[in-house]
Amino acid sequence: MIGSGQQKGGTAAGGKQSWRELAGPRRSRVNSPQARKRRQSRWLKFLVILVLLLAVFSGLVWTGWTFKNRQQAIAMTPSSKPIERIIFDTDGVLPDNWLSQTIKLRPGMSMMEVDIHALKKSVEAAIQVKSASVERVFPSDLRIRIKERVPALRLAVAGADGKRKLRLVAVDGVVYDGIGYPHASLEKLPFVQPYRHVDGSFFPMRGIESVAELLELTRNTAPKLFRTWEVVSLQHYSGNLNIPGQVIEVRSTIVPRIIFGSSADYGRQLDRLSYILDYVKNQGNPSIERIDLSLRGSAAVQFSSGRVGTF
């Protein structure tokens, strides 16, 4: 009997087979000294190439940043040309020729050669100047702005030669020689009789701001009355408003002595003064020696006849 076909040419493999088994046994990694040296050489070349690339990239970035900042620096630094013009602005009366005598600039001096801080200092050295600013206006201008002190009173002082000399008292109490003021404007300012300190000196003059407030209020609200004011006496006014009983005395052509309380409201005192002057005028204008407005809630009027009235 012929055998079954299952045994004919029996070449079928028993069990499981895979491509790894068909490919043969796995080759182990060669770990000889020569192989390790070749692998180290390849890694070293890779690291060198990586470092070179990083260096090139960093160089390009640095070059771009430097070029950009160099362009900005060039754009922000103006060319220094010789000064061609000085722009002089003042809120007062100082003339241009005063400035030319005060500042010293060499002909042909360039914009960047000028020490604007030293220039500001020299301008502010003038007592009439309260503050100043100096700035470069490129390409070739220099601008000088000045704020001047405002005169409130006139002061007659004896000079070294014994002659009387006119000086001005600013709102902040600084005494200075006036430059550039029209004669007509100075004539409108009353003279001042300063307060004498314990040591016999007249300076410093304190509390002039309060006196200037009274003068300005009178000038604005009662200009006709203000034009009659000739002298402001500070004989009993030290400028320290914390000391009670201090008074400012005004001597005018219509009333020899008008006394204001330095700590009271000037507006109310002026209103009471106007009322008294109108009342006296309606009464035939009897001569008045003294009006004391410093009293609380009233005013005392002394007439030339010796009669005293309260208002």
pLDDT single digits (tens) 241-258: 888 889 999 999 999 999
Tokens read off for 217: 């209020």
Q: How many residues does the chain have?
A: 311
d(CA 20, CA 209): 109
Contact between residue 301 and residue 285 where contact means Cβ atoms under 8 Å apart: no
Same domain, 197 and 247: yes
Pairing of strands 247-252, 164-170: unpaired
H or E segment at 280? helix 266-282
Same domain, 171 and 295: yes
Contact between residue 169 and residue 152 where contact means Cβ atoms under 8 Å apart: yes
Q: Which of 25-29, 112-116, 294-298 has the least mean pLDDT?
A: 25-29
Same domain, 267 and 198: yes
CATH number at residue 223: 3.40.50.11690
Same domain, 179 and 113: no
Give yes or no for residue 216 having a pLDDT over 70.
yes
**DSSP structure string for 34-47:** HHHHHHHHHHHHHH
d(CA 280, CA 285): 5
Give yes or no for residue 147 having a pLDDT over 70.
yes
Say which DSSP state 244 is in.
T
The answer to whether position 211 is within a domain reads yes
Q: Which domain holds residue 234?
A: 151-310
Higher per-residue confidence, 219 vs 9:
219
Q: Which of 13-22, 89-98, 145-154 has the least mean pLDDT?
A: 13-22
The pLDDT tens digits for 161-199 are: 888 999 999 999 999 999 999 999 999 999 999 999 999
Same domain, 287 and 142: no
CATH number at residue 140: 3.10.20.310
Same domain, 106 and 252: no
Domain count, the chain: 2
Of 148, 167, 195, which residue constitutes the final position of a domain? 148
